[in-house]
Amino acid sequence: MIERRELNSWQAPGYLEAREGRLTVDGVDAAALVDQYGSPLYVFSEKRIVGNTRNLRRAVEGVHTRVKVCYASKANSTMAVLAAVLRAGGDIEVNSGGELFKARTAGFKPEQIVFNGVSKTDDEIRAAIDFGILAINIDSLFELEQVTRAARELGKRANVAIRIVPEIITRSHIGLQTGLLSSKFGLSPSQIDEAFSRALAAPDAINLAGVHIHVGSQTPDLQPFARAFAEMWKFVAGLSKRTGHRIAHINIGGGLPIDYLGETPMAADIGEREREMLSATLDPGEVLRAALDEAAPSGKQELELIEGLTIIFEPGRRIIADTGLLLTSVCNIKERPETGDTWLLTDAGYSLALSMAMYKWYYHLISATRAKESHDTPYKVAGPLCDSGDVYFDLERGARLPNYRLLPQGTGPGDVLALLNTGAYALDQASQYNGRPKPAVVMIRESGEASVVRRAETYEDLVSLDNWVSSQ
């Protein structure tokens, strides 16, 4: 049993702190940002994005000489975020024509881009070939034909990697597992040699550049990464022996976890399995070392082959999750005398943090206006949406989320709360549900200045794309 100890264990020195009783982000008063830019508000730290990208690179570069860190832009594709990752030496993974467009617009070069997706359209494939990206990660034999056709039409060679889906189970949420044969992703092991042969039979259209696996997101253990890498290596080494073809890269995907729980007192109320998943930390260097060990190349040829390979990582969450938070104001308070509960109603619901409803994802909630006070009073907390599922707990009373959130006594309207570690998969999954314009995004620049990197939507934005005939 974990004790309900600790006061401010969420603090990250130099980034998230409680100063003079209030939450600060890179030294900037969070609640004051809400006064200035409105509520709710997404806030990011540029310094932390740059730091996370560089640290990850350094960790894997220490293990293998050729590596690429292709930031999974689906985690957060705000242009200022992409620009910060690029400046920090990151490359990029995209999952749609739109993300490809954003990557290009941000300034990523073709050799920095890999493209995943289970149902790429001809237009998306053409755009990727035309730009000459590092790899289109092929998701089926059908798609390989689709790419071959498009390349011939364009008179260009497409760089491709074959996405393999062996049966690799992780201890993550089932919705976040992608290495299972029951998942919709990739080619089965029994189809890989066929895919290789077809790719090599079309040298005018296809450059067989790599292989790819992504076992899932928030993967808490080393083993699935190591097994995945060894599976790919088996195919790569076999191909080289059989045909002499040397693949240029192995892409081990994303999925490095971040610790969402820290030493928060709420951890005691979350089921053990969930707790282990949410609080995992893995050293990316160790992940790579374990992968290389598991592959166990032997003999001069294999050693040369593996040394010459570029190893690609596609981290999203690990780079961006703990660089951002979502500020929300308490708008209403009510007592439920029959249950003894006090409810706090905020202005941020699942339309701004979808995973909280979809996966019952735990984001630690603290008070930004009373950051130093003891967070010891249980509240039912809920968002503003007209949906009973728009709550900060698990409506079905599962073990994924605690039933109550601990906040300072007396918390109520006028207080600003912060949902921490919401940098990944929140902003990009946000919607205007219930006629709520999406909020502004503020980035604390490395200079320490706060700047609006995406303006808040307006009511006019809610209707600006619609075409209708007024009845008046």
Q: Who's near 216: CB < 8 A, 6+ residues apart?
A: 170, 172, 176, 177, 178, 179, 224, 255
135-138 vs 158-163, strand pairing mode: parallel
In whole angstroms, the minimum distance from the beta carbon of 206 to ligand LLP comes to 20
341-346 vs 377-382, strand pairing mode: parallel
Assess contact for 136 and 159: CB atoms under 8 A: yes
Residue 311 phi, psi (nearest 5): -105, 125
Residue from 48, 120, 198, 318 touching ligand LLP (CB under 6 A): that is 318
Marked catalytic residue, from 386, 469, 470, 472: 386
| List of E strands, 75-167 | 91-94, 113-115, 135-138, 158-163
- The total number of residues shown for the chain amounts to 472
Is the Cβ of residue 217 or residue 279 nearer to ligand LLP in the bound state? 217
For the segment 275-304, give every residue that binds ligand LLP (CB under 6 A): none
Catalytic, 70? Answer: no
How many CB atoms are closer than 10 A to CB 27? 11
Site track for ligand LLP across 231-270, x = CB under 6 A = ----------------------xxxx--------------
Candidates 121-129, 214-222, 376-384, 389-397 — which segment interacts with ligand LLP by CB under 6 A? 214-222
In whole angstroms, the minimum distance from the beta carbon of 161 to ligand LLP comes to 11
Residue from 217, 342, 411, 421 touching ligand LLP (CB under 6 A): that is 217
Distance, CA of 164 to CA of 208 (rounded, Å): 14
122 to 108, 192, 314: CA distances (angstroms): 22, 23, 24
Tokens of 72: 């999974």
Identify any residues that bridge with 64 across adjacent strands, giving them in sequence order.
Answer: none
In whole angstroms, the minimum distance from the beta carbon of 407 to ligand LLP comes to 24
For the segment 157-196, give every residue that binds ligand LLP (CB under 6 A): 176, 178
Candidates 11-19, 54-62, 292-300, 311-319 — which segment interacts with ligand LLP by CB under 6 A? 311-319
For the segment 381-440, give every residue that binds ligand LLP (CB under 6 A): 424-425
For the segment 347-386, give every residue that binds ligand LLP (CB under 6 A): 355, 359
Residue from 317, 360, 364, 436 touching ligand LLP (CB under 6 A): that is 317
For the segment 112-141, give every residue that binds ligand LLP (CB under 6 A): 116
DSSP H or E segment with residue 334 = strand 324-336
323 to 45, 76, 239: CA distances (angstroms): 5, 11, 41
In whole angstroms, the minimum distance from the beta carbon of 318 to ligand LLP comes to 6
How many CB atoms are closer than 10 A to CB 41? 27
Q: Is the dihedral of CA 351, 369, 442, 419 positive or negative?
A: negative
Is the Cβ of residue 17 or residue 221 nearer to ligand LLP in the bound state? 221
Site track for ligand LLP across 4-43, x = CB under 6 A = ----------------------------------------
Residue 236 phi, psi (nearest 5): -65, -45
- The set of catalytic residues is 386
Using CB under 6 A as the criterion, which residues of the chain lie in contact with ligand LLP when the complex forms?
72, 75, 93, 116, 176, 178, 214, 217-218, 253-256, 314-318, 355, 359, 424-425
